Amino acid sequence: MAEEEDLADMPRVVGVLAALLERVTERNDAAAAELELAVAGAPAASAFRATTKPDITVRAYMARIARFAGCSPACYVVAYIYLDRLLRRRRRACAFSVDSYSVHRLLITAVLAAVKFMDDICYNNAYFAKVGGVSLPEMNYLEVDFLFGVGFDLNVSPETFGHYCAVLQSEMLCLELEPPPSPSPAPAARLHCFLAEDDTSSSGSTQHQLAA
């Protein structure tokens, strides 16, 4: 596929993060469908939730960001950390998950925040809005909402950075060792919920957030 060829030329962390978010999105879509059958009602409102599913895949969207954002590989690790922090805080207030309606906006906003914090030189919001396929006012609003969502907690310690690097490395090994798809149903994959500094899990959660 074209997006897979694009990712082949990118830093490996880009492909790993894309695969991880793609799997999380698929699982949360399935969980949301089950909830809709059991409980009638609209999903929780969020600035990150689009009204329709974007046509572009997570992998292709990630490849687009990596090609045009011009940020360092470390930014993608930090963006992953920021997403985890956001989801940890948001789950206490309302139902919020990474699904097909929210993953793209969450991703472009997390990368934007990470670039501004990590890199000495970066593009402005107008440029990131074009890369992400959103308007400039929407990009500005998403950035502000994201910063409040993480409590302006943008600092990442070397220990935390190393922990998330280890998680992504483990994910990379799993992808390399993953057997080819077979027609028979595969056993349930392992789940990690909220991979953050304290490494706690929430087994009672219905939807998986940043799961691998």
pLDDT at 117: 94
Q: What is the band of 70 on the pLDDT scale with cuts at 50, 70, 90?
A: confident
Torsion of CA 106, 112, 117, 118, to 10 degrees: 100
Domain span holding position 114: 1-177
Within a domain: 9: yes
Residue 189 has pLDDT above 70, yes or no: no
Q: How far apart are CA 123 and CA 67, in angstroms?
A: 13
Most confident stretch, 7-16, 161-170, 173-182:
161-170
The pair of three-digit structure tokens given for residue 157, joined into one six-digit string: 């310690």
Within a domain: 189: no
Residue 148 has pLDDT above 90, yes or no: yes
Q: How far apart are CA 117 and CA 92, in angstroms?
A: 26
The pair of three-digit structure tokens given for residue 154, joined into one six-digit string: 């943008």
Within a domain: 187: no
Residue 83 has pLDDT above 90, yes or no: yes
Main-chain dihedrals φ then ψ at residue 54, nearest 5 degrees = -60, 145
Within a domain: 81: yes
CA 58 to each of CA 4, 84, 125, 129, 142: distance values in angstroms, whole numbers, following the listed order = 11, 17, 21, 17, 18
Write the pLDDT tens digit of every residue in 98-126: 889 999 999 999 999 999 999 988 899 99
% of the chain exceeding 90 in pLDDT:
46
Q: Give the CATH number, domain containing residue 141.
A: 1.10.472.10
CA angle 96, 53, 186 (to 5 degrees): 75
pLDDT higher at 171 or 162: 162
Q: What is the DSSP letter of 184?
A: S
Write the pLDDT tens digit of every residue in 13-68: 999 999 999 989 988 888 877 655 444 455 556 788 888 889 999 999 999 999 99
Residue 206 has pLDDT above 50, yes or no: no
Within a domain: 99: yes
Number of domain units in the chain:
1
Residue 209 has pLDDT above 50, yes or no: no
Q: How far apart are CA 210 and CA 176, in angstroms?
A: 20
Within a domain: 55: yes
Q: What is the DSSP letter of 188?
A: P
Q: How far apart are CA 164 and CA 152, in angstroms?
A: 19
Within a domain: 162: yes
Q: What is the DSSP letter of 206?
A: S
